[in-house]
Amino acid sequence: MSRDYVAVNRELWDKDAPNWVEMGERAWAMETPEWGTWNNPDDGLHLLPDDMSGMDAIELGCGTGYVAGWMARRGARVTAIDVSAAQLATARDLAAQHGADITFVEGNAEETGLPDQSFDFAISEYGAAIWCTPDLWLREAWRLLRPGGRLTFLGNHPISLITSPEDGMPNDRTLHRPYKGMWGADWTTVAYEPSGICFNLTVADWMALFTRIGFEVRGYHELYAPDWAEGERAAIPAAWAKEFPVEQVWILEKT
Ligand SMILES: C[S@@+](CC[C@H](N)C(=O)[O-])C[C@H]1O[C@@H](n2cnc3c(N)ncnc32)[C@H](O)[C@@H]1O
């Protein structure tokens, strides 16, 4: 991807930020986490340690900052970085409303400028996980973590990309793109719900990258839409997402 995707994505999120305030308010108010586009419950996933007291945690691409808020509520000292000033403005407002003490940083999650080995736990839910070049942001997360530290990230499943039509129309049961060599997609000029430039890899390429960087896989989940789901979210029909994995979660440890 030769375009300046960081600037493209920043501009998109600065413009789109007002549309995410309501969702951010709902997520900040949740008693227990719900993950991904289809609000999958945390039971069985358990993506955050129950007790994070004494832990230094970072969210990479925090958006409205609700995951950072959930970690602060569990006792962590939390830093949250995002490239969009407008998204951070919402995050700061919501943190203040909820009395959460979070250090917000405006910047690119691929090069945070934060010190080496300063965190025990890192997470990204649809932040760096999909908007940053995998090789760059994963190396940065590895650098930021202490040995034994964990990185959990959630983003689109590769199957959801190959079954997405080139014009961005909702997913169907046809393979529209090659799986081999997958890098992601440029959604800026598609006819249906244009957005930014996103990244994804084949499962084998993700795993090879983790090994090259020095992460070990501690868990992998494939998420589907729950039974109650209907309609369409993020250009993915509920009926599709009940039968095919719409999202993936990787749980990694810095060795
Ligand atoms: C969908 S939000 C993720 C937050 C939240 N978990 C959610 O799902 O709404 C995506 C965020 O990633 C941020 N982002 C995109 N590119 C980034 C980059 N290079 N560095 C840091 N944040 C980035 C955007 O500004 C946006 O706020």
151-162: pLDDT as tens digits? 999 999 999 999
Residues 6 or more apart in contact with residue 84 via CB below 8 angstroms: 10, 13, 14, 17
**For ligand 1, mutation pick of 28, 78, 87, 112 (most atoms within 8 Å of CB):** 87
What residue owns the CA closest to ligand 1's atom 18? 108
Does the Cβ of 27 fall within 6 Å of ligand 1? Answer: no
How far apart are alpha carbons 216 and 129 in whole angstroms? Answer: 17
For residues 230-238, average pLDDT: 96
- The residues spanned by each domain of the chain are 5-155+194-232+247-254
Supply the pTM of this predicted model.
0.98
Determine the distance separating the centroid of ligand 1 and the alpha carbon of 150, expressed in angstroms.
20
Average pLDDT, the chain: 97
Out of 3.40.50.150, 3.90.1150.10, 3.40.50.300, 3.40.605.10, which CATH number does the structure's domain 5-155+194-232+247-254 have?
3.40.50.150
Does the Cβ of 109 fall within 6 Å of ligand 1? Answer: yes
